[in-house]
Structure 1
Amino acid sequence: MVLLKLEEILWQFRRLLVVFIAVIIIQGLELTLLYYKYDIFTGGFLQPYSYRTLPERLTFLGLSFWFDLALYGFVASLWFFVADKLNKYGLIIYYNFTVLVVLSTGIWLALKFQVLSYFSDTINLQIIKNLGGGSLKEALLYASNEISLFIAILCIITLFLVCFMKWLDNKSIYEFSKKDIKHISYIKLLSLNLVLTPILAYFISGNDFLRYGLEKKTSYRLISSGLDKLSDIDSDGSGIFSYPKDNAVFNADIYPGALDIPGNGLDEDGFLGDAVILPVKKDSLSEIPPQSGKHIILIVLESARADLLDQKINDHYAAPVMRDIASTGSSIKNAYSHTGYTTTSITAIFNRDLVKNNAKLTLIQFLQSADYQLSIISGQDESFGNVASAVGMQNDCVYYFDARTAINDRVFPSTEQGSLRLSEERVVKQFQARVKQLDFSKPQFIYLNFQAAHFPYSHPKMKKLIIEHLIPRSKINLENKKWVSDTYWNAIANADWAVGEVIASLKEKTLLNQVTIVILGDHGESLFDDGFLGHGHAINDSQTKIPLIINDPDVSADEPIGQVDVAEIAIRSALGLTNRWLNKDKMVFQLVGSLSQPSLIAHVQQDGVRTLFDFRSEQVFFSESRLWKTYEEALSEPVYKNRIVNLIRDWETLRWRQYLAEKQ
């Protein structure tokens, strides 16, 4: 009798019960993944907020449950409405809903957290492609093992649901299912939820502490973005439920991320009032008369970390050749990439700016005006991102060879631009062949690009120089952090071997003393240092500090050096000119995303002091004190104000210059 009464109550509140079951399962899955990915209840590196006290955790969990209830309750209402219209009743309706919602959400979470588990919140399509060696398909295949495991767990949950429903599916329940029971409780709760959810979403959008965790929740993101679209009255793409908010809902010219037009009296982007464009600095390279000097070999190493000179594996230095060059030449301690992407980094090196700038001489323009002969020999497809044409690699009279040129010699089957690459041996072979063709009585410039350290840090032809076993792509994960790191350093050892072959070829032709050699990375690489793998999604030393090595002992720098400075350093060295960089107030601009839609921007100063601004939360990070402050707090404190003002003015200036260049 008691059991029958219980079954009657369960059946009466079956719709509420089904939604609660689905939400509880999804809560468990998502919160577990949030915990492991973001350390959301313990705190982590560069993490401004975490929920450590019991009241904080209960508040977060309650709000998390509420938004899940709102989303899946709404989905359930649509499901039940269709079922009622089709006169479909019985347990199968509720069972199918639960299984479908849990499985579809679970698969989404598997994709979101397993494929992207190595990255920070700035993940985008390009980074996913980088994970898969340039191919989105390969990135998904790479994560297939983890996804399969996750789906297996979901299948176990499904089996449990089957057994649970089987237990309920008896004669008495069948009799209940024929009764016309009104779902008043469900309708009341759903109505209350739908009324209060927009109020909560608006409150949370203005609360940094709560928003930090909830915006990582699928339900909150979907609901808040949907409400934001509905509140976008002026159709400028921003409403009042996202962050930063649109503070001018009836003015389509003013919204977060708008181009701030200088001199019009409007603060379109919401920062520092009307834009003030900083003056363009005089181009010091244009003051150097074009003339012949030493030959120049510029070597760019894919994903090369700044600490490569000191790294030892199994008592072997990873880069002994480059150590020798640095010991007799120069190694710049504080050199940085401006972005974590190959295409923008190569463009910055050759064009000496982050945006198109006709007032600045590009490296190739200077060299051609000085009658240098130019040779491009690259292990990657330099047409990726239109880099080759943008920097002049394919100008008339330039010898051009890249991975697209020798596509049949690629190390991986894929012919996608981002994943196409040649072995170090193939690039060296091409260099040696080119050296035999060149007339070294004339000044020569040779650009070499070695792809050894590109993810997954090995290829079928790679030599095992300092370790015995290279990690397979399928085993690259946090649990195998050391194996990943060792494989990466073996890749650097292969790049170092290639540099050694270049040196040997120059010695063979007795040219070494007549050549300026400049070696640098296009960007760094996180090797799970901060829980992340890869590059292009964070601004820290792992991903943006790079090696810069020159075989010239007379080069010195007390200021931070950006990739836009490298061309002038190389030319000054080749011409025997003063090569001392002593501006201690200089700041190197860094960026994640694009200038028009950045996630993060930063200035790095002398000794690596960094000011970082997060556009998503309007939080500022000061590296020397490891402090996060709100944008308003930073502006109100004299010790920090100038730093954030300089950073935002620099970004607004670059963005304005980009806008003008695109209009031309």
Structure 2
Amino acid sequence: MFDLTGRDAGEIMAVASAHMAAPTLLSLGAISALGATVWGVNRLSAPANRASVQVSWRLAGAAAALFVVGFLTAGVLSVTNDTMEDGLRRKSTGNTYTRLTAALTDFDGDGYGIGGRTSDPAPFDPAIYPYALDIPGNGIDENGVGGDLPSAEPAYVEVPAAATPWPHRPNVVLIVLESFRADVVGRELNGKPVTPVLDALAREGVASEHAFSHNGYTVQSRYHLFTGSLAGLRQDGSILDDFNANGYETAYFSAQDESFGGPAAGVGFERADVSYDARQDRDRRYSTFTTAGSLAVSHRTLQERLDAFLASRDQSRPLFLYLNFHDTHFPYHHREIEPMVSGKSLTQRQIRPSRQDTLFEMYLNTAANVDRAVGSALDAVARAVGAPPAVVVTADHGESLFDEGFLGHGYALNDVQTRIPLVVRGLPMEIGEPFGQVDLRDAIGRALGRDDMDTPPRTVTVPGKMVFQYLGNIHRPRQIAFADGTGRTIYDFRDDRVTLAGGTPVRQHALQGPAAEPFLNLVYYWERMMLARAAGGAPPIE
């Protein structure tokens, strides 16, 4: 780890502290319990030894006081601060706190109490609790959101596209960029274009301004993109299976660890003819840690592996190639990033809100490196197959760089975290905007099923279309939203507040009549989806 953090002792402390906080707090709790036990034993077994009792009592009292202060502080932070609540939720101590407060205040035994962010709307009624399935038309609002689901609401369905053979089989490259903001494309810094390769692809094809991820995390976003399923109801594999069924050689090259998320990720990595991920070059990683959620290799390593594959592949079949570039993920810089549009960089411990401008420049410079890597990869494919391939470039999600107080992704349903680039060249693809990741699989299939392959791709506005988004897990989200390219309707389960497009958060019951319709449409959509998942035995998406 000393080498991986640049032989900087301060950097080691910054990285290690993020992983030591939970064990430290757990240890303090254990010490408190031990101190109390020692005090009790001394009190019962040696009452005459007052000095020993007093010392033990003081130690136990100090430890217990420290534990209580920490417990109450965690409670206040989790209730009042979204970022702190999310951070606590990701740590074992935070999960322990949540379970403990729920157990202490769960008066009706339904698994939810009145403490924490998502509290029981009916603490003495076991039939009503957060995330309960809302049975349509029974007069009961089982989850306490939006009233009883009307029985007239149509059932939620996911219909797979018809599996018809494609008349044309061009070489296709699908590229997913990690944590890549949509507003990076077309930007300049210090008089230099940040994304000249993506800009050129857009000029030769089309770029969507209204493409969105459904979630701010990689696993969920990747699942939706590959399967074309939002609720997990489609049982027809993934986009890899579509290309396999049409006689393609399928190659999957990822700069991250594709075991992250487990079998439920649903991507089909193992069904590709050729597959590579960061686990195969663990010793060449630029990431500090080797855990599945952290392991990553650079664009250079990915290019070397791609070149080796292209030099030896079977030329008798058309190629479907998936590429994932990871470099724009936190900490947004590593030893193989070159100064292209900026020479500024920050270590992890230097990343602070006060350095937001420098952080953004560093991020843009890394994005410029990734853009160049995309061009190098496409050039290599063109040389190997004899012609420029069809290309789709997008991202798993965006990234907050202290925008609205957040650093990272998966914290909020906003444009910087969920609006993503979408650039298409060489496919007659129709992009219905607003465009969600679940739309991509069938859009590619429809494009390859057309006879007129020379038709350029285009964007089309679809009136009334909304992209569903959620924060956390789809069956227990912290927030849900509808995005339409001009704004969002957001409902936050944690504080029971609704934010309409361009508005400020209000309690759900403050919305009446037509003003409540956007909120109710959103809630009913999610409730119908949950009913369909329960009926169809859909796998967890988390």
Q: Structure 2-normalised TM-score?
A: 0.79
| 2:359 is the alignment partner of 1:484 | yes
1:597 lines up with 2:481 in the alignment: no
Equivalent pair of 2:430/2:443 in contact (CA under 8 Å): no
> How many residues in Structure 1 have an aligned counterpart in Structure 2?
490
Structure-2 separation of matches of 1:307 and 1:483? 17
1: CA distance between counterparts of 2:73 and 2:346?
A: 23
Amino acid of the residue matched to residue 470 of structure 1? S
Is the Cα contact below 8 Å between 1:410 and 1:421 reproduced in 2? yes
Question: Matches of 2:98 and 2:209 in 1, distance apart?
Answer: 47
Please give the root-mean-square deviation of Cα atoms over the aligned residues, in Å.
Answer: 3.9
Are the equivalent residues in 2 in contact too, given 1:601–1:613 (CA < 8 A)?
Answer: yes
1:632 aligns with 2:506: no
Tell me by how many angstroms 1:365 deviates: 2.7
Query: How far 1:505 moved relative to its partner?
Result: 1.2
Distance 1:475 1:556, change over 3 A: same
1:450 aligns with 2:325: yes
Q: Quote the Cα distance in structure 2 between the aligned partners of 1:389 and 1:225.
A: 30
Q: How does 1:263-282 map to 2 (within 5 A)?
A: 266-271=140-145, 272-274=147-149, 278-280=154-156
Residues 398 and 661 (structure 1 numbering): CA distance in 2 closer, same or farther, change over 3 Å? farther
Deviations 1:90-130 (A, max 9, x none): 99999979975786678789999999x996255156867xx
Conserved? CA contact 1:292–1:371, under 8 Å: no
Distance verdict in 2 for CA 1:88–1:256, change over 3 Å? farther
Q: Does 1:429 align with 2:304?
A: yes
CA contact (8 A) 1:379 1:423 kept: yes
> What residue ranges of structure 2 are gaps of 5+ in the alignment?
1-32
Q: What is the deviation of 1:251? A: 4.5
Conservation of the 8 A alpha-carbon contact between 1:118 and 1:532: no
Greater CA drift, 319-328 or 334-343: 319-328
Amino acid at match of 1:453: T
Q: C-alpha separation between the residues in 2 aligned to 1:435 and 1:113?
A: 56
Q: Is 1:368 aligned with 2:331?
A: no
Partners of 2:322 and 2:440 in 1: how far apart? 13
Match of 2:188 in 1: 312
* Aligned with 1:475 (options 350, 353, 370): 350
The reply on whether 1:301 has 2:264 as its aligned counterpart is: no
Contact 1:278/1:649 (8 A) holds in 2: no
Question: What is the 5 A alignment of 1:288-437?
Answer: 289-358=165-234, 362-386=238-262, 390-395=266-271, 398-437=273-312
Answer 1 or 2: higher relative contact order, Cα 8 Å, separation at least 6: 2
Task: Tell me if structure 2 keeps the 8 A contact 1:602–1:612.
Answer: yes
Of stretches 235-244 and 592-601 in structure 1, the one that deviates more from structure 2 is 235-244
In structure 2, do the counterparts of structure 1 residues 120 and 451 end up closer, same or farther at CA, with 3 Å as the change threshold?
A: same
Q: Of residues 522, 525, 531 in structure 2, which corresponds to 1:647?
A: 522
Query: Cα deviations across residues 153-172 of structure 1 (Å, max 9, x unaligned)?
Result: xxxxxxxxxxxxxxxxxxxx
Show CA shifts across 1:179-237 (max 9, x none): xxxxxxxxxxxxxxxxxxxxxxxxxxxxxxxxxxxxxxx9xx989985x6455343112
Secondary structure of residue in 2 paired with 1:285: coil
2:405 corresponds, among 528, 531, 537, to 531
Q: Are 1:267 and 1:275, in contact at CA under 8 Å, matched by a contact in 2?
A: no
Is the Cα–Cα contact under 8 Å of residues 595 and 654 in structure 1 kept in the other structure?
A: no
* Percent sequence identity over aligned pairs: 29
Compare the two structures and name the one with the higher helix fraction.
Answer: 1
State the 1:424 CA deviation: 0.4
**Within 2, Cα distance between the matches of 1:111 and 1:641?**
34
Aligned counterpart, 2:12: none
The residue matched to 1:384 in structure 2 has which SS? coil
Structure 1 CA distance for aligned equivalents of residues 214 and 110 of structure 2: 30
TM-score normalised over the length of structure 1: 0.65
Change (3 A) 1:460 1:544: same
Distance 2:56 2:158 in 1: 72
The amino acid of 1:524's aligned partner reads G
Larger Cα-atom Rg: 1
Alignment partner, residue 609 of structure 1:
487
CA 1:297–1:119: 2 relative to 1, 3 Å: farther
What CA distance in whole angstroms lies between the structure 2 residues aligned with 1:341 and 1:224?
Answer: 24
2:438 is the counterpart of 1:564:
yes
Q: State the shift of 1:433 in Å.
A: 1.8
Secondary structure, in 3 states, of the residue corresponding to 1:394? helix
8 A contact 2:119–2:494 mirrored in 1: no
- In structure 2, relative to structure 1, the CA distance for the partners of 1:311 and 1:99 (3 Å cut) is farther
Residue pair 1:331, 1:548 contacting (<8 A) in 2 also: yes
In 1, distance between residues paired with 2:74 and 2:538?
39
